[in-house]
Amino acid sequence: MTPRPASTRAIHLQPLGEDVPLEFLDSLAAALARTFGLSCHVREWTPDISTAFDAGRGQYYSTAILQQLMPLAALEEGVRLLGVTQEDLFVPVLTFVFGEAQLGGDCAVVSLHRLRQEFYGLPPDENLLFERAVKEAVHELGHTFGLRHCRDWECVMASTHAVERLDLKRPEFCEGCRHAIEAGKDEG
């Protein structure tokens, strides 16, 4: 477990869309609480993210979602806000992203869309979906604590552009990234 940074009291998980199961978010919150040593809560109301939809791509622009989350994060001091959606996310220079975060900010977003085995034509695997979601959530929250991508390919902060690569990572920080979070520095 990583000691909590002094300026952060809690992590809130924000469902983005009606189809994100609260039970799944509760389990994810418990895993994040263990990883970060912080209180984690699930918000039960869902903001409308339809303005982030790009009809030409059939995806949601993750940066626009982050901009919508920023005022929601500011409602409580010392809270990091992680939006969780079933929608497919993109940024203009990439075909898709598993998530996005404000480096050193208060907000991040992750998508379960491409973390599901069904996306790849395979049978559902809820355990694998959960493992992937934990890794992606820890990764994006790591960015909010100032961590950049790590060179250690097993570290949760390693850059990931394919689900197969995500499966190879550990769900925790390497020693260097763990120390960076503990020290509150922008290392990794």
Q: Which residues are catalytic?
A: 140
Residues in contact with 50: Cβ distance below 8 Å, sequence separation at least 6, in sequence order: none
Neighbour-count burial for 123-132, b at 16+ CB within 10 Å, e otherwise: eeeeeebbbb
Beta-strand pair 107-111/99-101:
antiparallel
Query: DSSP class of residue 187?
Result: -
Q: Which amino acid is at 38?
A: L
Query: DSSP class of residue 150?
Result: B
Q: Which amino acid is at 124?
A: P
Residues in contact with 96: Cβ distance below 8 Å, sequence separation at least 6, in sequence order: 59, 88, 89, 90, 114
CA distance to 21, 42, 50, 83, per residue, from 46 (Å): 12, 11, 12, 10
